[in-house]
Amino acid sequence: MTHFIDLSRESQECAADDAPLASCEGKFVQIRNDADEYLVFASKGLCKYHSHIVETFASLRNIDVRENSKGDAVYFVDPMWEVVGGGKMKIDRDNRSVELAGSSQAYGPFDTVGLKSRLTPSFDGYTINVA
- Any idea what the CATH number is for the domain that residue 73 is in? 3.50.20.20
Q: How far apart, in Å, do the first and last CA atoms of the chain sit?
A: 21
The dihedral through the CA atoms of 70, 60, 79, 113 has a sign that is negative
Cα–Cα distance measured from residue 55 to residue 107, given in angstroms and rounded to the nearest whole number:
13
pLDDT band per the 50, 70, 90 thresholds, residue 22: low
Q: Is residue 66 scored above 80 in pLDDT? A: yes
- Secondary structure of residue 92 in the 3-state scheme: strand
- The share of the chain scoring above pLDDT 90, in percent, equals 66
Q: Domain range holding 63?
A: 2-130
The one-letter amino acid at 57? F
Q: Per the structure, how many domains does the chain have? A: 1
